[in-house]
Amino acid sequence: MDHAEHHPVAAGEQPAAQAHGQQHPLGIYFKIWALLFVLSAMSYSVDYFHAQGLLRWSLIIIFMLLKAGLIVAVFMHMLWERLALVYAIVIPPLLLVTLVAIGALEANYTWLTRGAFFTPEAQQPAAPSH
């Protein structure tokens, strides 16, 4: 039985994807590069317009995460990988960030509780009532 006639590729040839690796159109790379440029400009504009406090840090972190996600997805070819590999790479850092956020919330609660109960004003005995 001749197996060459059952395959779409002629005998002795390799498919293009196996011979040279998977090629993506250059246009997508240029579009992502332009989008990264726009996101960077927006990140710099946060400082230019003197945003302060929680708004400033929220915007900077959002732009940073968007840029990192685009870089990983397109330039590191994660967009074209199998879903199991994507989960294996993405889930551990997300779990770590979640645990750090929980720890930060608990630390903030502990700090505020210590301030409420261990300040000099809280330790003064109440005046006796007669």
Tell me the per-residue pLDDT of 56-115, one tens digit each, with 9 for 90 and over.
999 999 999 999 999 999 998 888 889 998 899 889 999 999 999 999 999 999 988 888
Residue 67: count other Cβ atoms within 10 Å of its Cβ. Answer: 18
Does 111 lie in the same domain as 86?
yes
Give the CA radius of gyration of the chain.
Answer: 28
Shared-domain flag, residues 51 and 32: yes
pLDDT at 17: 47
pLDDT of residue 92: 94
On whether residue 88 sits in a domain, the answer given is yes
Instruction: Please indicate, yes or no, whether residues 2 and 53 belong to a single structural domain of this protein.
Output: yes
Tell me: do 90 and 53 sit in the same domain. Answer: no
Q: Specify the pTM.
A: 0.61
Give 46's contacts (C-beta < 8 A, 6+ positions apart). 56, 59, 60, 63
User: What's 7's DSSP letter?
Assistant: S
Q: Are residues 99 and 86 in the same domain?
A: yes
Contacts of 89 (CB under 8 A, 6+ apart): 78
Range of the domain at 97: 82-121
